[in-house]
Amino acid sequence: MSDFNRRELLQMTAAGALAVGAGARPALAADYKPMFDVEKGASLQLLRWTGFIDQDDKQWKINTDAFTKATGVPVTIQEVSWTEIQAKSGLAAQIGSGPDVIMGFYDDPFIYPDKLVDVSDVCEYLEKKYGGFYDVAKSYGYDTENKRWIGLPMGGPGAAVTYRESWLKEAGFDSFPKDFDGLLKAARALKKINHPIGLALGHAVGDGNTWCHTLLWGFGGKQVDEDNKVAIDSKETREALKYAKALYETMIPGTASWLDVNNNQAFLAGQISMTINGISIWYTAKQKFPDMFPDIRTAPQPIGPVGHATNFNLFSQSFIFKYSKYPNAAKEYLRFMCEREQMDPWVTGMVGYVTPALKGYADLPIWTKAPEITPYRDVLKDNHPDGFAGTPGRAAATALNDFVIVNMFADACAHGSSPEDAAKSAAAKLKSIYGS
């Protein structure tokens, strides 16, 4: 068990805060050389999602204050629930007014690419300095058609297996299985000792999509092919659905209606032995459930027959609308926030909840501070974007918003459809979305 305790966490966060906000930062302000010619009298409005962990917001604000101190550009931050970002950014795009910078999710920039500022210069600078972006980050930010970056990839609140070590051992497993077969065996064994697993199969934007896509891709299935032609009704998809049905039978009853919050609650209530989630369960247990905390472990998601990880995670990127009066200030702000001096305390403060999109940040000390944090470091390595293997855009975003993949799995697992019927039904829905 790690010796990483709350005191250390607070010390690290406080150290980051001090370094950025109070003591060390004025030196940076004195030497500050902006990359962009910041407009005179500039002020910015940022719309972002409420942090999944409170230290996220706090550290982001500290970093933002440091930016204001260094550049004189005030930044107003608005936070809304992550599921409401799209509505607000859509409105801004529609009326041509609103926040200068938005931290959105998934394909958001590809819904209104023409309305966004080209951020290629910032992205290329950061790529060069920090070892490049993960592939999935590129697919969410780079407009291949026009060969320009329309969104600056920030990172992904990653998903990994969270489980109870003692129960897994009681079920006969020394460590968490690394492949789908092992996962099914462990799930069956855990059910036998009355500690079932639980994975969200309702319209859970994060947790439902995560494991369903991972299973689908792990068997080689895909929503559409490289030409955006619907390819869901395949042998691979049906195999994934058969496997999911078998896995579902080992779960605690009721998961078909679970949302993102439910698996957290069930785990912390001791009702389930394993789930797939962000680090929030571990973090919450650390703060509030000291009896359970020492027994909680995390592990990378198991690998399917394709032989490599097929992760799907939430992903956030920032974009600037063309209506902004201060595009240079906005670009400077994003660059500043992605520099190591800011990124390190931000990621450390939220205990690695968001895995940065830049590969260079895989060496941050927080990733090895506790073994339970380490799996989240690598979640973006083998991560496909939604709509894989097609291109991101309105159709992929619609399919994700409509939970087409999750619904297909729910149909096969909980609603009595055969794998064949569930795949056919999903194909019909996707054809209406993609028009092919």
Partner 1 sequence: MDRRAGWRLWLPLGLMLLFLLLPFYWMVLTSLKDRTELLNTPNPWWVFHPSINSFVDLLTQTQYPRWFLNTLYVSVGATALSIVVSYCAAFAIVRLKFKGARALSTAIFFSYVVPPAILFIPLAEVLVKLGWFNHLWALIPIYATFLVPFCTWLLIGFLRSIPRELEEAALVDGASWPRIMIKVILPLSVPGLISATIFSFTLSWNEYLYALIYMFSSDNKTITVGLTTELMRGDVFQWGQLMAGSLLGTLPVVLVYFFFVEYYVAGMSGALKD
- Binding footprint of partner 1 on the chain (CB under 8 A): 45, 47, 49-54, 76-82, 84, 87-88, 91, 94-99, 157, 206-207, 260-261, 263-265, 268-270, 277-278, 280, 284, 288-289
User: What minimum distance in Å lies between the beta carbon of 46 and partner 1?
Assistant: 10
> What is the C-alpha to C-alpha distance for residues 350 and 32, in angstroms, rounded to an integer?
27
Query: Is 123 in contact with 149 (CB distance < 8 Å)?
Result: yes
Query: Is 337 in contact with 46 (CB distance < 8 Å)?
Result: no
> What is the C-alpha to C-alpha distance for residues 16 and 61, in angstroms, rounded to an integer?
12
Cα four-point dihedral sign 161, 167, 171, 173: positive
By beta-carbon proximity to partner 1, the closer residue of 264 and 355 is: 264
By beta-carbon proximity to partner 1, the closer residue of 264 and 273 is: 264
Is it true that the peptide bond before 240 is cis, omega within 30 degrees of 0? no
By beta-carbon proximity to partner 1, the closer residue of 92 and 303 is: 92
By beta-carbon proximity to partner 1, the closer residue of 243 and 353 is: 353
By beta-carbon proximity to partner 1, the closer residue of 48 and 429 is: 48
By beta-carbon proximity to partner 1, the closer residue of 64 and 391 is: 64
User: What minimum distance in Å lies between the beta carbon of 30 and partner 1?
Assistant: 30
User: What minimum distance in Å lies between the beta carbon of 58 and partner 1?
Assistant: 12
Sequence-ordered list of residues with C-beta below 8 angstroms from that of 434, at least 6 positions apart, any chain: 224, 228, 229, 230, 390, 395, 399
By beta-carbon proximity to partner 1, the closer residue of 17 and 186 is: 17
User: What minimum distance in Å lies between the beta carbon of 98 and partner 1?
Assistant: 8
Sequence-ordered list of residues with C-beta below 8 angstroms from that of 199, at least 6 positions apart, any chain: 207, 211, 247, 251, 255, 258, 263, 275, 276
By beta-carbon proximity to partner 1, the closer residue of 3 and 291 is: 291
> What is the C-alpha to C-alpha distance for residues 102 and 99, in angstroms, rounded to an integer?
7
Sequence-ordered list of residues with C-beta below 8 angstroms from that of 178, at least 6 positions apart, any chain: 300, 302, 303
- DSSP character for 129? H
User: What minimum distance in Å lies between the beta carbon of 52 and partner 1?
Assistant: 3
Angle CA 246–247–249, to nearest 5: 70
User: What minimum distance in Å lies between the beta carbon of 249 and partner 1?
Assistant: 25
Query: Is 116 in contact with 322 (CB distance < 8 Å)?
Result: yes
> What is the C-alpha to C-alpha distance for residues 142 and 138, in angstroms, rounded to an integer?
5
User: What minimum distance in Å lies between the beta carbon of 91 and partner 1?
Assistant: 6
By beta-carbon proximity to partner 1, the closer residue of 14 and 80 is: 80
Query: Is 347 in contact with 57 (CB distance < 8 Å)?
Result: no
> What is the C-alpha to C-alpha distance for residues 181 and 27, in angstroms, rounded to an integer?
55
User: What minimum distance in Å lies between the beta carbon of 314 and partner 1?
Assistant: 9
User: What minimum distance in Å lies between the beta carbon of 191 and partner 1?
Assistant: 20
Query: Is 117 in contact with 324 (CB distance < 8 Å)?
Result: yes
